[in-house]
Amino acid sequence: MNISFDNTENAFAYKSVKDLKRAKLLFTSMNYQWVVDAGVRLTPFAMKTGLPVRGLIRDTIFKQFVGGETLEETAVVANTLAKYGVDVILDYGIEGKEGEENFERVTQEFINVINFAATQPHIPYVSVKITAFARFKLLQRLHEAPRLRSGIHDNEAEEEEWKRVRERMHRICSVAAEKNIGVLVDAEESWIQDPVDRLTIEMMEIFNKEKPIVYNTIQLYRHDRLHFLKLSYSIARQKSFILAVKLVRGAYMEKERARASQKGVQSPIHINKQSTDTDYNAAVAFCINNIENIACIVASHNEESCLLAVELMEKKGLPLNHPHLHFSQLYGMSDHISFNLAKAGFSVSKYLPFGPLKEVIPYLMRRAQENSSVSGQTGRELSLIKEELKRRKIH
């Protein structure tokens, strides 16, 4: 199959000249590290102190990377993308606040998002974050005693607390199964990941008997995760459920390395990018080689990894829109991958955060930092936008 990720006509068909010019200005700014650093420091402060920056943020970085402040606004974006064969993964993009009352509120919000997605023809998945309805320190305590059933038998109050977390997760997954919406469970920091994995696999065993509903996120920048993927597959085969995974490279690299250094332990992160890429591509191959029993979302902005998945599907003679293979990229980025894959007939979605502007500022700051730290990412986005403006004869 002759897929070209350089085809900017497909990549930006959904964007107006005004959209492209705004994106060009944004990515040009993000090419300068000092601009990103200043923005990351000053934006949260400006929002907290009431400085009149809301309109500027809304019309620039928010519009580029976020689907809107409300569910209704995300439906408009989803319908636009759907015209070009691209679906949406909804992400309620607020940072969780601790406390049982907040945990219950956020759980209900996740259920509301699932119910809304079920009314839309082009929103097959929602993303959930267990730290949004579970106390971080509780997860850390469980992680540190992973061989026990709960890890906290000496503390009855925490045992009850963990039961409430499980019950919230079960409630979310029950509604998702009933409405046929996939639940993508976010990965977390390595020092709380074990209970997240265990709970997610437990939900898979309940809800993934006939079709994939619950997906675990596997961060392949960790040197132990390829093994963990294979172990998860063994468990799934033994317990007769469909393993469902979202493959990502990872999101906490600097934090992970800093913590490992501070504690004087080995970092869980691969020593270099090449090792991460090798494991990521091996994970893609493992999933496609076992595609009848593994549902896989290739959530990557890496062209080589996406093309590898395409080649493996072709080599095996599998349908491009196989129900167990899906591609995903962040909204506002890598349109050259998403829309060219969709045009070729693959199942593709954009990861679409939404929420009140004030609440999604932490997400937007991460986007700015990650774009500037990934070598060549901003430059690649910018060159493709310029190419499309040139193709449209706009200067």
Q: What is the pLDDT of residue 53?
A: 76
Residue with tokens 């990941």: 193
Q: What is the pLDDT of residue 361?
A: 83
Rounded CA-CA distance 114/309 in Å is: 29
With 60 as the cut, is the pLDDT of residue 147 above it? no
Q: Identify which has the larger pLDDT, 362 or 387.
A: 387
- Of all residues in the chain, the percent with pLDDT exceeding 90 is 74
Q: What residue type is 132 in one-letter code?
A: A
Cβ atoms 74, 355 nearer than 8 A: no
Banded pLDDT at 144 (limits 50, 70, 90) = confident
Determine the average pLDDT of the residues in 377-390. Answer: 90
Q: Does residue 242 sit within a domain?
A: yes
With 80 as the cut, is the pLDDT of residue 35 above it? no
With 70 as the cut, is the pLDDT of residue 146 above it? no
Strand partners, 92: 354
Cβ atoms 14, 81 nearer than 8 A: yes
Q: What is the pLDDT of residue 155?
A: 59
Q: What is the pLDDT of residue 373?
A: 54
With 60 as the cut, is the pLDDT of residue 154 above it? no
Residue with tokens 């070598």: 375
CATH number of the CATH domain containing 189: 3.20.20.220
Closest of 153, 113, 162, 108 to residue 134, by C-alpha: 162
Closest of 246, 228, 173, 236 to residue 201, by C-alpha: 236
Q: What is the pLDDT of residue 58?
A: 86
Give me the chain's average pLDDT, please: 91
Banded pLDDT at 54 (limits 50, 70, 90) = confident
Give the pLDDT confidence of 157-197 residue by residue, as tens digits.
788 999 999 999 999 999 999 999 999 999 999 999 999 99
Banded pLDDT at 152 (limits 50, 70, 90) = very low
Banded pLDDT at 127 (limits 50, 70, 90) = very high
Range of the domain at 180: 67-360
Q: Does residue 394 sit within a domain?
A: no
Q: What is the pLDDT of residue 95?
A: 67
Banded pLDDT at 318 (limits 50, 70, 90) = very high
Closest of 359, 365, 361 to residue 109, by C-alpha: 359
Q: Does residue 19 sit within a domain?
A: no
Q: What is the pLDDT of residue 118?
A: 98
Q: Does residue 145 sit within a domain?
A: yes
Q: What is the pLDDT of residue 115?
A: 98
Determine the average pLDDT of the residues in 31-36. Answer: 78
With 70 as the cut, is the pLDDT of residue 52 above it? yes
Q: Does residue 393 sit within a domain?
A: no
With 90 as the cut, is the pLDDT of residue 110 above it? yes
**35-44, 54-63, 114-123, 256-265: the lowest-pLDDT one:** 35-44
Q: What is the pLDDT of residue 140?
A: 92
C-alpha dist (Å) from residue 19 to 29, 332, 339, 359: 16, 11, 16, 24
Q: What is the pLDDT of residue 378?
A: 78
* 146 Cβ contact partners less than 8 Å away, ≥ 6 residues apart: 194, 195, 198
Q: Does residue 355 sit within a domain?
A: yes
With 90 as the cut, is the pLDDT of residue 77 above it? yes
Global pTM reads: 0.93
Please count the structural domains in the chain. Answer: 1
Closest of 377, 221, 192 to residue 303, by C-alpha: 377
Banded pLDDT at 150 (limits 50, 70, 90) = very low
Q: How many helices (H) and strands (E) does the chain have?
A: 17, 8
**73-82, 151-160, 176-185: the lowest-pLDDT one:** 151-160
Q: Does residue 311 sit within a domain?
A: yes
Could you give phi then psi for residue 207, rounded to 5 degrees? -105, -10
Calculated CA dihedral for residues 367, 281, 140, 97, nearest 10 degrees: 30
Strand partners, 80: none
Kindly report the length of the chain.
395
Q: Does residue 54 sit within a domain?
A: no
Q: What is the pLDDT of residue 393?
A: 86
Determine the average pLDDT of the residues in 368-383. Answer: 71
Rounded to the nearest 5 degrees, what angle is found at the Cα of 162, between the Cα atoms of 104 and 356? 30
Q: What is the pLDDT of residue 151?
A: 45
Q: What is the pLDDT of residue 376?
A: 62
Give the pLDDT confidence of 269-316 residue by residue, as tens digits.
999 999 999 999 999 999 999 999 999 999 999 999 999 999 999 999
Q: What is the pLDDT of residue 195?
A: 93
